[in-house]
Chain A
């Protein structure tokens, strides 16, 4: 009756679903589902097993409908909760033990179907609903929202089903023969019901089935499928799904189960690949027991594949794992065996038996893939990240950080192994980057291995014993020496064990020793590779072999500071004292002492086109050696601050020299580095050692000559410059010059060095492209005999500048000096070539402003006066303007003179004319006397004028002097005067 009722409910629900009335459909489906649960204990229509199967089938259908509807409407949480209820309800309904496999299969299917539904719905909706935790007494875990979780459990139940099936098959082996009825069992028209199909001619009849018959049918059906493939597929789904959301440990676990299935199926390749991946995670996280298990499988995989090297590697790693007796994993079903020290020793023995025996060895008779032929050789590489570092690792330390070539130092090789049993090493090969240093340590007890033909050349040491005890350092110290300079680094230590196994360990420095993985977590004391406490922290696997001491002298013979502008010569001399110099090279470097660099593109150089402050111009060979004579293959490379020149062969005892030509453009101290690299032996062209000699010298660059200049007006002639009065106080601008007047320019050159110089000429040159706006007159272009300028001395030359053009600015040009060092006593004997190499120093003369003075005052006074003899003192006031100028003037009295004329007056000077105020003076005293002081004021410009003291002095002779009329007394203004 209840069944009928339920049937109706389902029909209503299906109809509602058909009408797309989801809520209604869901309601009725749920009702049907609940009704079904009530039927479970009530109905007795079918035999118990089939009854349960029927109920489960119906509930599965209803549950599928409900889950689909829930997920379809986005109620993921409800769906998950519903599934959990569904699962919990039926999990207990295992049924009869003989048909338990049906239950597991059904459970597996529930998980798979729900997982797939969840996956498709979450794909469709994309957005994951917020997880509500703790909503009920049994909160949902976030994992229940992952489809992978359901796939994983589906696989779990399927494997349960498989084991139940295997059990059932083994139990029903005898009735297998009477299993005639199974073929004819078919699903009936009703969900979850099965019937026996009876064919009698055309008559087809459905007969009810006994439980026994159904069980037979289920087992027979189960046999037809390969569950492991299904399990692998499910686990793969879970594995990939977990990997996709970066849940690596879960995915590793799924992968582990999957690989186990592959392994059981005999798909070794797949299994090994997955196991290898998983092992990486377990190694990094230090889960030794899990790693042990995985390695056990991997070892078995390589045994079946017959790959000896892999087998040896996995076995050794297993044997070296930090497994103590109390891991708790004593018995295990995996091929690794129980995780215990005993099992480690068994593995250890097995692998060393395999590689130790020269004869063919097989461990298991049935899987005899693993064999080593007599000439086969297994070499294991142990680098810094290899898991085999546990098996053996080598620390190498040189006792000294630098050694001289030819002298010997000690090297300590320390080996550590975590293998459970002592390993006897036959010989150790120590390899260096300089292969001549390689050597072999042979085990004295197994001497026969040393007698190999090719190793005879190598150095061989013999150690009394080379047994590597578990967890104990084997320390070996030997002398080592190298003749080759450079880095000497220990690369690897190869331990040969037996005739078929070599373990090549990358050498590690004790100072930078990475702790061993896995074992660091163990509670055991950490030991150090070297007993020497200093070397533990500073020992390195490499040492620096120094160069042999050079036996060549390198002399830089520069004296005193260099002068700017000149080509400064630095003689370089090589004197061989024990070594002959083959293929020598001289490197020259100029470096700024202050580190600022010799190159400054931003500095504008007014007088040099080069942007380098100091420049290496060239290298001249030794005397008598012309550059053209140099061999063509000789290198000669000169750059601004760098030079490279090859040195010819120098015999032992000989010497060779050259000169560096350096030019300074700015005062700057520089450091000159010269280094010579050469080979002491000519017969080893390629790998001969270069020997280097370095020398440096600091050289100061100094200004040789300081050029100054100043302007003078003609004597006793003063123009009124209006801007001068205005600006004199305000700014430090150079005073303007009066235009249309002759002006005297005095250029002086001062020797500011500590050596005497020779000066050849001073001239003023026109600048390129700029027209000079004045005429300059002077005496001889060159001095007939170059003037000697001792240190501190100043040389002056006078120029007459006349700017008669109506201009506002006076462009003078550049003062140009030609000079050189004084050669002293060699001055006369020096060749003309040396003498003609004059240094040119230039300095631009600043432009001068010019203006037309409105008034010019000239004092006219005889050059001398005679006591008591009257003379005329004229003051000329020249008005250069177009205007009438009112001038007020006064003349002060002077003690030494009697005068006649106006003391004060006001005069008007007509435009472009001259007014002369004249006085008659009688000198009353002799000697230098001050004439009466004249002062005047221009009313228009409100400018006062007073002549300077020097222009208003005159010398008074006591009586009339008698001069010889000679030309030498006549001074010309233009004449240049030395040593004023």
Chain B
């Protein structure tokens, strides 16, 4: 199950962060997302270590942390997408698929002429689309 998704801007500032848990661990998830930016930075700055992933937007699993797995995605405009999931056995293809759909939702949201680039995404449509994508995450893998 996906517990948190986030869009992080150029200055590593959160543009959109949404958690999908019943428990009160939203803040913890914020911390996890924030910490995962270190891994993204490391991957981007040291592309040698992650050789085969050169020029790929999908950054793969960023780091394992107790009970969670964090995945990252870097768009061409250097906007980062972070996904936190509690599933311990996740297929890369599912995550890629998720990020692809998430990316297109993001592109649609920022293409809104009333959206100012670099500002937080407050679009309700975007939030709805994201929650749909998040909900369908588990099912699509089953299907």
Q: For window 60-79 of chain B, which residues contact chain A by CB distance below 8 Å?
A: 60-66
Report the separation of the CA atoms of residues A126 and B75 in the bound assembly, to the nearest whole angstrom.
36
Residues of A within 8 A of B27 (CB): 289-290, 293, 329, 332, 334
Stretch of B17-25, B100-108, B133-141 contacting A (4+ beta carbons < 8 Å)? B17-25
Number of interface residues of B (CB under 8 A): 37
The 7 closest A-B pairs by CB, nearest first: A286-B13, A331-B24, A523-B122, A143-B63, A329-B26, A249-B38, A328-B26
Residues of B within 8 A of A287 (CB): 13-14, 30, 34
Is A522's beta carbon under 8 Å from chain B? yes
From A141, A290, A327, A334, B61 is in contact (CB under 8 Å) with A141
Report the separation of the CA atoms of residues A373 and B128 in the bound assembly, to the nearest whole angstrom.
53
B26 touches A330 (CB 8 A): yes
Given A131-B49, A141-B61, A331-B24, A521 contacting B13 (CB threshold 8 A): yes
Nearest CB of B to A342, in Å: 17
From A143, A153, A286, A289, B30 is in contact (CB under 8 Å) with A289
Residues of B within 8 A of A603 (CB): none
Given A290-B30, A522-B119, A285 contacting B24 (CB threshold 8 A): no
Report the separation of the CA atoms of residues A144 and B65 in the bound assembly, to the nearest whole angstrom.
10
Is B35's beta carbon under 8 Å from chain A? yes
A521 touches B26 (CB 8 A): no
Is A256's beta carbon under 8 Å from chain B? yes
**Which of A144, A284, A290 is packed against the most chain B CB atoms within 10 Å?**
A290
Report the separation of the CA atoms of residues A919 and B44 in the bound assembly, to the nearest whole angstrom.
115
Other A-B contacts than A141-B62, A521-B120, 20 sampled, CB-CB below 8 A, are: A141-B64, A156-B66, A247-B38, A247-B42, A249-B35, A250-B38, A256-B31, A285-B11, A285-B12, A285-B13, A285-B34, A286-B11, A287-B13, A290-B34, A329-B26, A333-B24, A521-B9, A522-B119, A523-B116, A523-B120
Report the separation of the CA atoms of residues A252 and B38 in the bound assembly, to the nearest whole angstrom.
11
Report the separation of the CA atoms of residues A156 and B28 in the bound assembly, to the nearest whole angstrom.
13
Is A976's beta carbon under 8 Å from chain B? no
Nearest CB of A to B33, in Å: 9
Is A142's beta carbon under 8 Å from chain B? yes
The digit string for A198-227, where 1 denotes a CB below 8 A from any CB of B, is 000000000000000000000000000000
Report the separation of the CA atoms of residues A521 and B11 in the bound assembly, to the nearest whole angstrom.
11
Residues of B within 8 A of A252 (CB): 34
Closest to B119 in A: A523
User: Which residues on A are within 8 Å of B, measured CB to CB?
Assistant: 131, 133-134, 139, 141-144, 149, 153, 156, 247-250, 252-253, 256, 284-290, 293, 327-334, 520-523
Is B1's beta carbon under 8 Å from chain A? no
Nearest CB of A to B122, in Å: 4
Residues of A within 8 A of B30 (CB): 287, 289-290, 329
B18 touches A328 (CB 8 A): yes
User: Which residues on B are within 8 Å of A, measured CB to CB?
Assistant: 9, 11-15, 17-19, 24, 26-27, 30-31, 34-35, 37-39, 42, 49-50, 52, 60-66, 115-116, 118-122
Total CB contacts across the A-B interface at under 8 A: 90
**Which of B13, B52, B116 is packed against the most chain A CB atoms within 10 Å?**
B13
Report the separation of the CA atoms of residues A307 and B131 in the bound assembly, to the nearest whole angstrom.
45
Residues of B within 8 A of A247 (CB): 38, 42
From A134, A156, A522, B52 is in contact (CB under 8 Å) with A134
B49 touches A249 (CB 8 A): no
B34 touches A249 (CB 8 A): yes
Closest to B9 in A: A521
Chain B interface, >50% SS class? mixed
B63 touches A141 (CB 8 A): yes
A521 touches B119 (CB 8 A): yes
Residues of B within 8 A of A286 (CB): 11, 13-14
Residues of A within 8 A of B34 (CB): 249, 252-253, 285, 287, 290
| Pairs A–B under 8 Å by Cβ, sample size 23 | A133-B52, A141-B62, A142-B49, A143-B39, A143-B64, A248-B38, A249-B37, A250-B38, A253-B31, A286-B11, A286-B14, A287-B13, A287-B30, A288-B14, A290-B31, A290-B34, A328-B26, A329-B26, A332-B27, A333-B24, A520-B119, A521-B120, A523-B119
Closest to A257 in B: B31
Residues of B within 8 A of A330 (CB): 24, 26
Report the separation of the CA atoms of residues A520 and B34 in the bound assembly, to the nearest whole angstrom.
20
Report the separation of the CA atoms of residues A911 and B18 in the bound assembly, to the nearest whole angstrom.
126
Nearest CB of B to A151, in Å: 13
Report the separation of the CA atoms of residues A293 and B27 in the bound assembly, to the nearest whole angstrom.
8
Report the separation of the CA atoms of residues A287 and B62 in the bound assembly, to the nearest whole angstrom.
20
Report the separation of the CA atoms of residues A250 and B50 in the bound assembly, to the nearest whole angstrom.
20
Residues of A within 8 A of B121 (CB): 523
Nearest CB of B to A254, in Å: 9
Residues of B within 8 A of A141 (CB): 39, 61-64
Report the separation of the CA atoms of residues A331 and B13 in the bound assembly, to the nearest whole angstrom.
22
A328 touches B35 (CB 8 A): no
From A284, A328, A522, B120 is in contact (CB under 8 Å) with A522
Residues of A within 8 A of B116 (CB): 523
Nearest CB of A to B38, in Å: 5
Residues of B within 8 A of A249 (CB): 34-35, 37-38
Residues of A within 8 A of B31 (CB): 253, 256, 290
Report the separation of the CA atoms of residues A284 and B116 in the bound assembly, to the nearest whole angstrom.
20
Residues of A within 8 A of B14 (CB): 286-288
Closest to B4 in A: A328
Residues of B within 8 A of A250 (CB): 35, 38
Nearest CB of A to B128, in Å: 13
Report the separation of the CA atoms of residues A143 and B36 in the bound assembly, to the nearest whole angstrom.
11
Residues of A within 8 A of B61 (CB): 139, 141
Residues of B within 8 A of A153 (CB): 65-66
Report the separation of the CA atoms of residues A202 and B13 in the bound assembly, to the nearest whole angstrom.
71
Nearest CB of A to B95, in Å: 13
Closest to A84 in B: B64
Report the separation of the CA atoms of residues A290 and B35 in the bound assembly, to the nearest whole angstrom.
12
Residues of B within 8 A of A142 (CB): 39, 42, 49
Report the separation of the CA atoms of residues A158 and B91 in the bound assembly, to the nearest whole angstrom.
31
Nearest CB of B to A467, in Å: 28
Nearest CB of B to A391, in Å: 20
Nearest CB of A to B83, in Å: 15
Report the separation of the CA atoms of residues A256 and B35 in the bound assembly, to the nearest whole angstrom.
12
Report the separation of the CA atoms of residues A771 and B97 in the bound assembly, to the nearest whole angstrom.
105
Nearest CB of A to B6, in Å: 10
Nearest CB of A to B129, in Å: 16
Report the separation of the CA atoms of residues A750 and B53 in the bound assembly, to the nearest whole angstrom.
91
Closest to B46 in A: A142
Residues of B within 8 A of A290 (CB): 27, 30-31, 34
Report the separation of the CA atoms of residues A521 and B115 in the bound assembly, to the nearest whole angstrom.
12
Report the separation of the CA atoms of residues A156 and B42 in the bound assembly, to the nearest whole angstrom.
24
From B15, B19, B115, A328 is in contact (CB under 8 Å) with B19
Report the separation of the CA atoms of residues A247 and B12 in the bound assembly, to the nearest whole angstrom.
14
Residues of A within 8 A of B119 (CB): 520-523
Report the separation of the CA atoms of residues A522 and B30 in the bound assembly, to the nearest whole angstrom.
18
Report the separation of the CA atoms of residues A752 and B61 in the bound assembly, to the nearest whole angstrom.
94
Nearest CB of B to A390, in Å: 15
Report the separation of the CA atoms of residues A327 and B19 in the bound assembly, to the nearest whole angstrom.
9
